Structure formats: C-alpha cells, structure tokens
Amino acid sequence: MHGIEPGLIDLLVNEPAAAGIEADAAAVYAAGWSEQALFHAISTYALYSFMNRLIEDCGVVTDPGGTVEERARYHALKDDPATYRTFCRQLSILR
C-alpha cells in the first residue's frame, strides 16, 4: 500500500517497538540529521499525504492545465480576502 511493506502499518499501530523503525531513525541521525529535522520531515510528508487524500476523497479533480476561463477566474480572485472569508463561513469556521 503506497510503497509500505504489507503488515508494517499493523506493526506500527499494535507493536511499535517490533516495527524496527529505530534502525531507520539511527541511520538518519548518523547522516547528520537532528531529531527535530527528522520530525519536520515526517510531519511534512504526513501533512502532504493527508491533504492529498482529503482532496481526492472529497471528489476534487485537478487539471494542471485548466481552461483559460478557470485561470482568469483564479487570478481575479486569488488576492481577494472576501473569497476566503466566504469559504470559511461556509465551513462554519468564521461567522
């Protein structure tokens, strides 16, 4: 699943010590990374993966090219704070 060995997720959830991640972390530390740097790398990867899955599961289909009209609309609205306030109100984040 997504490049992860079968059973590794179950091990990480049920028996983290048995998953063997200490050796992986030790190799990263030996390469000169700090614990904070490793944490930031893991966090960045996790957030990126989460957002991709959230967007895909919400049914958003992306088209990097887009249409001329879509690009024009984006550029017209991208710096308009009212657009973000409206979006936040729809999510009940802002009143």
**With left for phi above 0 and alpha for psi between -120 and 50, is residue 66 left, alpha or beta?**
left
DSSP element (H, E) containing 10: helix 8-14
Distance CA 51, CA 31 (A): 29
Q: Is the pLDDT of residue 1 over 70?
A: no
pLDDT in tens, 30-41: 999 999 998 999
Q: What is the pTM of this model?
A: 0.49
